[in-house]
Amino acid sequence: MASSVSGAEEVRVSTLTPLKLVGLVCIFLALCLDVGAVLSPAWVTAEEQYHLSLWESCWKPAASPTWRCTSTLGTDWQIATLALLLGGAFLILLSFLVALVSVCIRSRRHFYRPVAVMLFAAVVLQACCLVLYPIKFIETISLRIYHEFNWGYGLAWGATIFSFGGGILCCLNPKNYEEYY
């Protein structure tokens, strides 16, 4: 009788469903996009004479061939933006590690909810960062030339969207879908 009980327990532990696998891939992509956004040299650019990242602001005087750069960590809103983005990236990293470990030890059901909570918290942090950044940039920086938010800012939005998708996929109840797989 004991063997049938252990056999029943083994049946309950199922293989990784495609929904959870896609969720894990979304979390990984969000992590990669966050790393790219943090390291990006171009969150804002202006006609090849100015670019702003999370770390430095660089401009090229018209008469000079060299760039001049200063740190952006002197203003409170840029420090807050960086802290919010790094906090979200840390939560995404932590949720990816928890999800990966839970997949490896085959006890995924117990970790779906904490991973989803961490991902939704990361989405909130990063959305606050991505709303704060353009508002404060436009309010404090006075560029007299055309400027645009560039690919670094876009990568951060991509990370936020993939985090949200990963959180949704972690919230789905696998019991409703496992019979199809």
Q: d(Cα 41, Cα 43) in Å, to the nearest integer?
A: 7
pTM over 0.85: no
43-74 pLDDT tens trace: 988 877 788 888 888 888 877 788 888 888 88
Do 67 and 83 meet the contact criterion of CB atoms below 8 Å apart? Answer: no
35-48 pLDDT tens trace: 999 999 889 888 77
Beta bridge partners of 46: 50
72-110 pLDDT tens trace: 888 898 999 999 999 999 999 999 998 888 877 766 566
**Boundaries of every domain in the chain:** 17-42+75-180
What is the CATH topology of the domain spanning 17-42+75-180? Butyryl-CoA Dehydrogenase, subunit A; domain 3 (1.20.140)
